[in-house]
Structure 1
Amino acid sequence: MSMTLALLLATQAAAPAQSADEPPTAPSETLAEPPEDAGRLGTAQQGGGDIVVTARRRAETVQSVPIAMSVIGGTALAETGAYNVSRLTQLQPTLQFYSTNPRNSAANIRGLGAPFGLTNDGIEQGVGIYVDQVYYSRIASATFDFTDTERIEILRGPQGTLYGKNTTAGAINISTRKPSFDTEARAELTGGNYDFFQGKFSLSGGLVDDVVAARVSGSITTRRGTIWNTRQQEWQNSQDNIGLRGQMLFQASPNLDVTLYADYARQDPNCCVQYYVRTGATQRATNRQYAALAAAFGYTVPSTNAFDRVTDVDSDLQALQELGGASALANWNLGAGTLTSVTAWRFWHWTPSNDRDFIGLPITTVSANPSQQSQFSQELRFASDTKGPIDYTLGAFYFYQTIDTQGLQMQGPAASRFLLNPGNSPFGANGCATATTAACSPAVLNGLTSRNTIGFKNTSAALFGKLTWRAAENLEIAPGLRVNYDKKEGDYVATVTTGAGSMTLNNDQRGVLAPQSYQPQFDNWNVSGDITVSYDFTPDVHYYATYARSYKSGGINLSGLPLDAANNPILQVQTIDPETVNHFELGLKTQFWDRKATVNIAAFWTEIDDYQATVNNQQVGVLRGYLANAGKVRTRGVEVDSAFRPTSGLNIYVNGAYTDAKYVRFTDAPCPPELAGGTTVTGTQRPSPAGTNGPNRTAGLSPESCDISGQVLPGVSKWAFSYGAEYGIPTVIAGREGQVYIGYDGSYRSRFSANPSPSAYTNVSGYSLSNFRAGFKTDEGINVFAWLRNAFDENYYEVLATQSGSTGLIVGQPGDPRTYGVTLSTSF
């Protein structure tokens, strides 16, 4: 495919446009606020409006910022139903968000940011989440519902010289609406099928004239589940969220303001279930594959079609989380510039319950890792004014985090048959071996319990700066530098007891749940930097080129270590090295057709040495992987964001991304399921072909590790698009002037791998989604519309995974079916 054709295709997707409903807004010397509807879907960056953003910690128009970025405003979030980060992926082609429950979530930009798989607390995200300039350390906290959100800026590529923590892949910068001295109120009510209800409100006004103003807002979201559990007779994967947020602004003097923030959110869904999708042959013996094991118990799943949306998992599900915190933001204009202080404390409490065997047999009866996390951060920045040929931002950042986790895993009476290899002994009808092979007795693993006590301390400090030199009238050169120190300390203790309460374990038991005790530590300094050269060909045509060298902090393994041949922990892998990132980007931002059209193009090439990957170690009972450094990965591609407003009533956006993300070098990677589960080769033995196994008790020969160099990174679609339009006609209804409108939003993602090592069994097929809305909005702020999402009831998976033990069972989490409803919002 030629580059020209690729660019034309890419023009058909990427991020919704921003609003031009307000008059042009010039950036001020301090952090000016953007127009109220900045980022409104389908009307962005055109029609005469300039969208003001704070991506570089000062107010600038989005078109003049030499960063690949997209902006979505509060109106767009409401009209498209994008009320959390996960739903933003339908609007942003290069943003990926995967979540099997809030704790096990990952946000990636351009295929980079976090290892694909179950979360390990010992590392950090490469995509920074910031809310009102406060860094959110755990990605789970990004699953909150957006409450009173003014705009969201999605910055693509490394941002470490201006943002307080690791942002090697990008940043999601969320700004809520600020307190106002004029009294104002907003309310929004939504009802839909599956008993969906969402209510939002905000109230703001002055308390002391021109000195003190306050704002309070809240939201509630409930929905019954979409998956029916035939065993527990209940709907699962429900929603049950509440959120409250308060702000108080003190205008202490004309040049000093302080804003205090406090928020609390609780999510208590009956969630999150993954269940049967398909089976694929591994190298385990035929009678050790899923079909034979299930038949030995006389077990069948309620349906082998996942889109029947029924399951029979037998462990209770819970995904309760509470999060919140308080912060203070102070801006002091000193004449030569503005000194900003951001002080914040946050907490996140997690109380889960999972079914990690994914079926209705008692294999793993308990799998839960309750966790209590807190963080404190302090940031100081000084930003010069923008009157001279040079402006700059200097800053210091401090971060301290603690995590306490109490893990519990318990095996059930079916575990021995599913997880142990009984040699050549025959099997009895009870699902285990005859008494001649004690290792196959159900009692070997029944009741086997691991209790894990995990502690973690994370300290980070940094000095950073960014300078902009206007070398000529239309030329800017902007270097940045960051010096960072990270220290991580962990404590992992796993105590394992048998069903009889004994701590004396045989080798089979240790191979499934091994006692471990270790105290990993990591600390290091690193220096990162970037330089951007930008040139304005005309006031509406901007070019930039960027090189960045950045680092993501090293980490420690806090989910248990892999075992050696004697089933002892391998202590050499307690820590992993930092990632080293080299990033190149070229960008062109253009407006034309009397600024009724915006087309922005970015081409990027990013290489990461010592890429942090989640891997498995071939233990049959392992539910969690561990962390390791892959040799090198590379992602490259082209993005196009475009928006058009041919008439005053018609707004169109088409955005797209081509992303080629691969392992350049990963020679000792975990093998995919079709090459796992057999006897490990020794000496001159050669591995069996994929999915090869013998009859009865004869296993295939599996490689100790696999070379996946040149294969694709997980979770990344090569092609991704978003596109849509809104058309409105001026109308008067019931004496109210406004417009009747109809809107459409579509998205497409091509196939992606859902396994760290690509597997034919875990490829998620490409899919497209279509959403419609139609309604009436008035000039006074009333908006009532009906919406239809996933209009054609597309069957698609958000993620696929494998059952532990190399049984060949593939499980998944289907995306939402067709939903519909009505939303009414008003402001006054």
Structure 2
Amino acid sequence: MLTLAILLAGQIAAPDTPAPAPVGAQVEVEGQAQAPAGRLGTAQQGGGDIVVTARRRAETVQSVPIAISVIGGTAIAETGAYNVARITQLQPTLQFYSTNPRNSAANIRGLGAPFGLTNDGIEQGVGIYVDQVYYSRIASATFDFTDTERIEILRGPQGTLYGKNTTAGAINITTRAPSFTPEARVELSAGNYDFFQGKASVSGPLVPDRVAVRLSTSVTTRRGTVYNVRTGEHLNSQDNVGLRGQMLFKATPGLDLTLYADYNRQNPDCCVQYYVRTGATQRPLNRQYAALAAAQGYAVPSTNAFDRVTDVDTALRAKQELGGVSLVGNLDLGAATLTSVTAWRFWHWDPSNDRDFIGLPITTVSANPSQQSQFSQELRIGSNGDHALDYVLGAFYFYQTIDTQGLQVQGPAASAFLLNPTSAGGRNPATLNGLTARNTIGFTNTSAALFGKLTWHVTDALQIAPGLRLNYDEKKGDYVSVVTTGAGELVTSAARFNDQRGVLAPQSYQPRFDNWNLSGDITAAYTVTPDIHAYATYARSYKSGGINLSGLPLDLGNNPILEAATVKPEKVNHYELGLKTQFLDRRATVNLAAFRTDIGDYQATVTNGQLGVLRGYLANAGKVRTQGVEFDSAFRPNERLNVYFNGAYTDAKYVKFVDAPCPPELSGGTAATAANPASPAGTIGGFSPANCDISGQRLPGVSKWAFSYGAEYDLPGQVGGLDGQFYVGYDGSYRSTFSSNPSRSLYTDIKGYGLSNFRAGFKATDSWNVFGWLRNAFDRDYYEVLALQSGSTGLVVGQPGDPRTYGVTVSRSF
């Protein structure tokens, strides 16, 4: 629960701030002393407080005893932070990783979702909410923000305030509301790599003072940054379209209803990971990557990943459609407001991947198209006004179905690459050529909860706020994998199919999990002075158990291990101290937070060493701990200059994980025994342990140090008779080395890096904004993720981050 990170909406508080009020569908914040949406910094604009709805009521952000960051809509446009991945450069404790939209993970302080390929059978620890609706698919985080008013990032467990339980935090997105005053916005951007982005919105009344609508759209296209020398195509492109509509109906002075509808489509040539380096495993020399590739006369087009060339031989596709409808109603009962949020959403995923990552026909098809539907209903009642005892009480129901049709096909190079080349099967291409697994996967997820939060104003300065959540979760799955040879013969458990089952194993299992749990938290908040707020929080939370829906690991007989079909719930104990301060006539803000989170039965994504297992499976680590200190600061030395500097020290590690999968340098050899103990790391042809004790190692994806910093300077001026400001801005970020493998390996550590972004332009008052931008200005080479080729070949592949990009943005408000 970090306090304020970057209040990009501006914040000089007025002497008299509004009393907290329950959040309605459309809060008329213009009538309150709210700051306008500024470009950066907590002390930029002046004239009011930032109003947020983190606690399901409208409150000023500095007084909320929750670690929260707020990014305004203007900041999203001017910093280029138009999706969750780009927000990470502004927010030190938010991590987002994505090898394709489905295989994405949003983490806060290193917690949220296991690092690695996504498994549908578990929950996300970081909840994504848009206009109060929970988005169950993390793929939604890859879409562009459309007509966004603000984004609130909350840290720490939030289950006593939010519909779906979130043990690591929440990303709360609020779009711009329909307006009874006609207005329109247009924003156009163009840049290198054929980048184009267009956004537009229009709003106004249909019936004066009764019905208002808002329509908005966004389009983003960009040529890919990686060139495929085999096909002549540019990969990792962008092709996004978003449509959103809202209609507000003020039925009576005390009742308003808002209908939302949205549709989003992505269809890029994406997503490729390709050769980065090799590292020695414990396989025999003739089964290491270099020897396997040489035996087939193959060489990658470049061994320098930042040449940005590849030769993958499978067409890539990352097509997805996401959308839905929701109805939010608010009924003012006088002393309280009753809120209903009803929503239905869908997500359709149509991918194609090259899972051998190179130009040899090893795995020629790897695709898991999926269709998801979800329904949710939330009902809340919250007290109005400033009472001695304020409350929010709620009930939540969620039902989700997912249907997946998986297909994996091995090619003519598979036998030589995946089997022992000296064996009969390895010498015969027909052994694996055409080997096909067709997977039929079904999943249903039911969740129901009662939750509530009380705020007792013991005195004008002291608040005590306990919360409780009663939760029920039920998950049912059905996994069937039918495997056939290239000749169409059904692969069975017969010994003659051992080579095939070692690569693609037929499986059929029906996992089920259900559980009740009770969680809660308590916060004590104290207002030392109007500009100094302190708080302390303890939370006991649970992350629902799950089921494995990506296939099970195999035993020594190449049979699935059914005991691995389910994973236990995570048990979370969270502690936090926070201090929010402003001084120098509120021209400076410095906020501090110290936290510790202990998790028992941590849900980890692990991989096994068998040749054909492309997807990880879930397992429980004994115990994980993350702790650290975070600070956020922003300064406004004068009317023209704003500066911010935010940082986080995060120590996240496995406290106890004694049976973890081994890193690649300890994998692939002959099974170690008492007579033949495990060999040192990287011993070619050595003996490998069945598992490894990685207790004390850092969690993947988490940098020990992370910072964001920047400044903006403006001068009044005039262009074409328009009054406004010329401005120049800088935004920088840095993160230290982090691991990109569940079990840390020197082969997959990503070195620390810093990025610098610049912008400069002219903004006319309430109309034009024209600016040029330069991102990754110094063309820093860095990786977003690294991964391993299956089968302990020693090949390390990766996804480089964007190179230097530049362009111009023009926007106009009417």
Normalised-by-shorter TM-score class: over 0.9
Contact 1:38 1:44 in 2 (8 A): no
Aligned match of 1:355:
354
Using the alignment, how far apart are the partners of 1:824 and 1:485 within structure 2?
49
Matches within 5 A, 1:539-554: 539-554=530-545
Is structure 2 residue 62 aligned with structure 1 residue 57?
no
CA shift, 1:15, in A, is 3.2
Instruction: Check conservation: 1:450, 1:497, Cα contact below 8 A.
Output: yes
**1: distance between equivalents of 2:188 and 2:384?**
43
Q: What residue number does 2:375 align with?
A: 376
1:21–1:37 contact (8 Å) kept in structure 2? no
Indicate if the aligned counterparts of 2:22 and 2:56 stay in contact, CA closer than 8 A: no
Do the aligned residues in 2 keep the contact of 1:46 with 1:597 (CA within 8 Å)?
no
8 Å contact kept, 1:631–1:664: yes
Q: Partner residue of 1:136?
A: 135
Cα distance in 1 for partners of 2:500, 2:190 equals 51
Q: Matched residues in 1 for 2:476 and 2:43: separation?
A: 46
**Matched residue, 1:711:** 697
Deviation at 1:490, TM superposition (A): 0.3
Task: Say which SS state the counterpart of residue 59 (structure 1) adopts.
Answer: strand
Distance in 2 separating the partners of 1:243 and 1:373: 19
Aligned to 1:214: 213
Question: Is structure 2 residue 786 aligned with structure 1 residue 795?
Answer: no
What residue identity is the alignment partner of 1:814? P
Please name the residue that 2:812 is paired with. 826
1:44 is displaced (CA, Å) by 4.4
2:431 counterpart (444, 454, 460): 444
Q: Distance in 2 between matches of 1:86 and 1:271?
A: 16
Q: 1:191 to 1:45 in 2, by over 3 A?
A: closer
- The CA distance in 2 between the partners of 1:229 and 1:541, in whole Å, is 56
Give how far 1:801 is off. 0.2
Q: Does the CA contact (< 8 Å) of 2:105 and 2:138 recur in 1? A: yes
Q: Out of 519, 531, 547, which is 1:556 matched to?
A: 547
Counterparts of 1:258-269 in structure 2 under 5 Å? 258-269=257-268
CA distance in 2, matches of 1:293, 1:538: 69
Matched with 1:597 is 588
Q: Normalising by structure 1, report the TM-score.
A: 0.95
Matched, 1:479 2:457: no
Are the aligned partners of 1:16 and 1:72 in contact in 2 as well (CA < 8 Å)? yes
Counterpart AA for 1:277: V
Distance 1:590 1:532, change over 3 A: same
Native 8 Å contact 2:193 2:222 kept in 1: yes
Report the Cα distance in structure 2 between the residues aligned to 1:15 and 1:584, rounded to whole angstroms: 23
User: What per-residue deviation string (whole Å, max 9, x for no partner) do you get for residues 568-615 of structure 1?
Assistant: 111111110000000000000000000000111110000000000011
Whether the aligned pair in 2 keeps the contact of 1:179 and 1:215 (CA below 8 Å) is yes
In the superposition, relative to structure 1, how do residues 322 and 600 fare at CA in structure 2: closer, same or farther (>3 Å)?
same
Q: Aligned pairs, how many?
A: 801
After superposition, give the CA deviation of every residue in 1:650-689 in whole Å (9 maximum; x if it has no partner): 1111001000000000000000000001111123421010
How far does the alpha carbon of each residue in 1:251-286 deviate from its partner, in whole angstroms, 9 at most, with x for none?
Answer: 001111000000000000000000000000000011
Q: Provide Cα deviations, 1:469-515, integer angstroms capped at 9, x if missing partner.
A: 01112000000000000000000000000000001351111011000
1:626-705 alignment to 2 at 5 Å? 626-693=617-684, 699-705=685-691
The SS at the match of 1:647 is: coil
Q: Provide the C-alpha distance between the structure 1 equivalents of 2:769 and 2:13, rounded to a whole number of angstroms.
A: 18
The answer to whether residue 461 in structure 2 is matched with residue 469 in structure 1 is no
* Corresponding residue number in structure 2 for 1:502: 489
CA distance in structure 1 between the partners assigned to 2:224 and 2:121 by the alignment: 32
Within-5 A mapping of 1:186-225: 186-225=185-224
The gaps in structure 2 that reach 5 residues or longer are none
Identify the match of residue 21 of structure 2 among 29, 41, 56.
Answer: 29
Distance 2:190 2:284 in 1: 52
Equivalent residue, structure 2, for 1:419: 418
Q: What is the rounded CA distance, in whole Å, between the counterparts of 1:225 and 1:308 in structure 2?
A: 13
In structure 1, how many angstroms separate the alpha carbons of the residues matched to 2:12 and 2:324? 34
Report sequence identity in percent: 76
* Distance in structure 2 (CA, Å) of the matches to 1:33 and 1:750: 42
Tell me if the contact between 2:49 and 2:60 (Cα under 8 Å) persists in the aligned partners.
yes
Alignment-derived partner of residue 604 in structure 2: 613
Structure 1 residues 446-483: Cα deviation after superposition (integer angstroms, max 9, x where no partner): 11000000000000000000000011120000000000
**What secondary structure does 2:100 align onto?**
coil
* Matched letter for residue 755 of structure 1: N
Aligned residue identity for 2:508: S
Q: In structure 2, give the amino acid aligned to 1:219.
A: S
Q: CA offsets, 1:147-167, max 9 Å, x none?
A: 000000000111110111121
Structure 1: how far apart are the matches of 2:310 and 2:592? 45
State how far apart, in whole Å, the 2-side matches of 1:76 and 1:672 are. Answer: 41
Query: Within 5 A, what are the aligned runs for 1:722-741?
Result: 722-741=708-727
Quick check: 1:661–1:713 contact (8 Å CA) kept in 2? Answer: yes
The residue identity in structure 2 corresponding to 1:312 is D
Contact 2:20–2:386 (CA<8 Å) still a contact in 1?
A: no
Write the distance in 2 (CA, Å) between the matches of 1:576 and 1:504: 29
Q: Is the 8 A contact 2:43 2:587 kept in 1?
A: no
The answer for the alignment partner of 1:118 in structure 2 is 117
- Structure 1 contact 191–198 (Cα < 8 Å) conserved: yes
Letter in 1 for 2:458: A
| Contact 1:408/1:451 (8 A) holds in 2 | yes
In the other structure, the counterpart of 2:106 is 107
Separation in structure 2 between the aligned mates of residue 444 and residue 39 of structure 1, nearest angstrom: 63
What SS is found at the alignment partner of 1:93?
coil
Quote the Cα distance in structure 2 between the aligned partners of 1:486 and 1:30: 29
Q: Which moved more, 1:182-191 or 1:387-396?
A: 387-396
RMSD between aligned alpha carbons? Answer: 1.4
Provide the residue aligned with 1:458 in structure 2.
445
- 1:168-197 CA-partner distances (Å, limit 9, x unpaired): 000000000000000000000000000000
Verify the 8 A CA contact 1:42 1:653 in the aligned structure 2.
Answer: yes
In structure 1, the residue corresponding to 2:21 is in which secondary structure?
Answer: coil
State the alpha-carbon separation in 2 of the partners of residues 22 and 401 from structure 1.
Answer: 43
**Equivalences for residues 55-454 of structure 1 within 5 A:** 55-422=54-421, 425=422, 437-454=424-441
3-state DSSP of counterpart to 1:652: strand
CA contact (8 A) 2:537 2:575 kept: yes
How far is 1:440 from its partner? 3.3
Letter aligned with residue 18 of structure 2: A
8 Å contact kept, 1:576–1:627: yes
* Structure 2: distance between partners of 1:180 and 1:21: 25
The aligned residue for residue 576 of structure 2 is 585
1:98 and 1:192 map into 2 onto residues whose CA distance is 24
Asked if 1:489 is matched to 2:463, the reply is: no
Q: For 2:282 and 2:28, locate their aligned partners in 1 and report how far apart those are by CA, in whole Å.
A: 60
- Residue 565 (structure 2) aligns with: 574
Do structure 1's residue 622 and structure 2's residue 608 form an aligned pair?
no
Aligned to 1:696: none
| Matching residue of 1:430 | none
For the structure 1 residues 28 and 18, does the alpha-carbon distance in structure 2 shift closer, same or farther, using more than 3 Å as the test?
same
SS of equivalent to 2:334: coil
Comparing 320-329 with 611-620, greater Cα deviation is found at 611-620
Q: 1:180-233 deviations in whole A, cap 9, x for unaligned? A: 000000000000000000000000000001000000000000000000000011
Residue identity opposite 1:469 in structure 2: W
Secondary structure, aligned partner of 2:454: strand
Kindly state the Cα deviation for residue 354 of structure 1 after the two structures are TM-superposed: 0.2
The residue that corresponds to 1:6 in the other structure is none
Aligned partner letter, 2:507:
Q
Q: Given the superposition, is the C-alpha separation of residues 536 and 28 from structure 1 closer, same or farther in structure 2, using an over 3 Å criterion?
A: closer
CA gap of 1:22–1:787, structure 2 versus 1, over 3 A, is: farther
Over residues 668-721 of structure 1, what are the superposed CA-to-partner deviations in whole Å (9 max), with x where a residue is unaligned? 00000000011111234210100001xxxxx21000000000000000000000
Distance 1:135 1:549 in 2: 22
TM-score (norm 2): 0.97
